Amino acid sequence: MPGEKGIIIGLTGSFGSGCSTLMEALKTQGFEGYSLSDIIWDIWRDENPGKKDEEALREQLQDIGNKLRKDEENGVLAIRLLESIKEDGNENKNLVIDSIRNTTEIRVFRENYPDNFYLIGVECPRPLRWPRVNPKQYAPFGLGEEEFIKDDERDRNEEGFEHGQQVQKCVDESDITIKNDDHISDKKLQIKKLSEKMVKHIELLSGILRPPKDPEYFMSLAYTASLKSQCFKR
């Protein structure tokens, strides 16, 4: 479906929003999947020999990512992932890259794929994300919603560090935003629904044109009308 160079889709969104599920959905559309968080997980496993992945706290994973960016450079995870893609010989394939959490990572991908990188932001309200992540990431450690909110705020860049998590800023830079607020507990059905939701987007990114939807049409009219304003900030 996509062209010779392939389509590179980056995913960003708060944890529990469904980015990983969307990656699985895109795999069913023929995309090869990569995740920046895999690099962080490898470091955590090296630092915690003998421990299971289920024993990792989100705060620990956040610390590893922040330290890595601070010690090297903000785009280090993206740079390392590009090396893995090249080693795998997948430069020209359709790729989906999960766990983009810093705006410099976006810049690295846009510079390396200037014509075929698109960022998708996945949004889901915090009250819906909490029950999704609680059973595996908080309840087993005796942690509650207060810790979840703390981690979530840190993820969104409430600390303000350039080398920190910047999910909200990343979502703001998205080319496409998808709402994933469906109440679906079955994982296979989630993947199926998201896959269906992505078909039109993939077609559009592949050069298959479609008429504008009503919201796009009316937004275009609103923008054109705004040009009649004499305000300097129009």
Rounded (to 5) percent helix, strand, coil in the chain: 55, 10, 35
Residue 1 has what pLDDT?
Answer: 38
Structure tokens given for 136: 């595996």
Sheet with strand 8-12: strands edge to edge: 32-35, 95-98, 8-12, 117-123, 176-179
Kindly report, residue by residue over 42-51, the tens digit of the pLDDT.
Answer: 999 999 999 9
Residue 53 has what pLDDT?
Answer: 95
Instruction: Give the residues of the chain that fall short of pLDDT 50.
Output: 1-3
- Domains with residue ranges and CATH for the chain: 8-226 (3.40.50.300)
- Model-level pTM? 0.84
3-class DSSP state for residue 83? helix
Residue 205 has what pLDDT?
Answer: 80
Q: If you average pLDDT over every residue of the chain, what do you get?
A: 90
What CA–CA distance (Å, rounded) separates 3 from 131?
40
Residue 3 has what pLDDT?
Answer: 42
Residue 234 has what pLDDT?
Answer: 53
Residue 2 has what pLDDT?
Answer: 39
Could you give the C-alpha distances from 13 to 51, 97, 119, 137, in angstroms and in order? Answer: 27, 12, 11, 17
Residue 95 phi, psi (nearest 5): -125, 145
